[in-house]
């Protein structure tokens, strides 16, 4: 049988151990968050920021002069900064609140694979969408510009979540 003072000391020791464990876990979590931020290449942060921002030219400016942007879901490729900027402007005209949320990145040499969530609200659709997306960025030798971007996501899921038929096509423009 444990005496009351000994039991109190045991409870206090356990509470202190939990407190240390919690603060260690919190510190580890904060450290992991900082590590994730450091591991995310600046070009990826700039790419997501350009998609999330209002200026279509910001996206085009991230690419080499002859860079390409391919949206695999709709099978289109844009070449050069002007066309890529035009693609962003078109996306903004069709999708309210376009947003890319980076979840993870993997760097292998000059290639960065980005796992993200692509979301927005197709104008005229009854509901918004949020779908997983994988983007493969091939960078120039200095890793400061994008040579090639390939976006992979499910157009069928975008349309389904948006409440649109599978054969929906955007208005001309």
Number of domains in the chain: 2
pLDDT score at 171: 81
| 3-class SS of residue 123 | coil
Other residues' Cβ atoms within 10 Å of the Cβ of residue 78: 21
Domain hosting 30: range is: 1-39
| 3-class SS of residue 126 | coil
Does residue 7 sit in the same domain as residue 82? Answer: no
In angstroms, the CA 24 to CA 38 distance is 21
Least confidently predicted of 24-28, 107-111, 164-168 = 24-28
Does residue 117 sit in the same domain as residue 52? Answer: yes
Residue 147: inside a domain: yes
**Per-residue tokens: 95:** 């999708």
**Per-residue tokens: 129:** 């969408």
Query: Bigger pLDDT: 128 or 144?
Result: 128
Do 56 and 89 contact (CB within 8 A), yes or no? yes
Other residues' Cβ atoms within 10 Å of the Cβ of residue 100: 20
Enumerate the H helices of the chain as residue ranges: 4-39, 42-52, 56-60, 80-94, 155-162
pLDDT range class, residue 136, cuts 50, 70, 90: very high
pLDDT score at 143: 80
Q: What percent of the chain has pLDDT over 70?
A: 76
Residue 168: inside a domain: no
Does residue 34 sit in the same domain as residue 46? Answer: no
The domain that contains 91 carries what CATH number? 3.10.450.50
Residue written as token pair 């409440």: 163
Does residue 15 sit in the same domain as residue 99? Answer: no
pLDDT range class, residue 15, cuts 50, 70, 90: very low
Does residue 148 sit in the same domain as residue 86? Answer: yes
Residue 9: inside a domain: yes
pLDDT score at 172: 77
Does residue 53 sit in the same domain as residue 12? Answer: no
69-101 per-position pLDDT tens digit: 999 999 999 999 999 999 999 999 999 999 999
Residue 169: inside a domain: no
Residue written as token pair 């002859």: 66
């Amino acid at each position: 049988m444990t005496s009351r003072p000994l039991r109190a000391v045991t409870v206090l020791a356990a509470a202190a151990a939990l407190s240390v464990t919690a603060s260690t876990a919190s510190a580890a979590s904060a450290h992991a968050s900082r590590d994730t931020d450091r591991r995310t290449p600046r070009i990826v942060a700039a790419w997501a920021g350009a998609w999330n921002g209002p200026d279509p030219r910001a996206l085009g400016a991230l690419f080499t002069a002859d860079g390409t942007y391919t949206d695999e879901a709709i099978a289109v490729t844009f070449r050069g900064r002007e066309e890529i900027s035009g693609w962003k402007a078109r996306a903004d005209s069709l999708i309210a609140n376009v947003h890319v949320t980076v979840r993870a990145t993997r760097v292998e040499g000059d290639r960065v694979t980005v796992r993200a969530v692509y979301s927005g609200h197709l104008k005229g659709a009854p509901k918004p969408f949020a779908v997983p997306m994988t983007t493969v960025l091939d960078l120039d030798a200095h890793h400061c510009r994008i040579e090639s971007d390939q976006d992979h996501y499910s157009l069928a899921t975008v349309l389904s979540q948006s409440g649109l038929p599978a054969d929906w096509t955007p208005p001309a423009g």
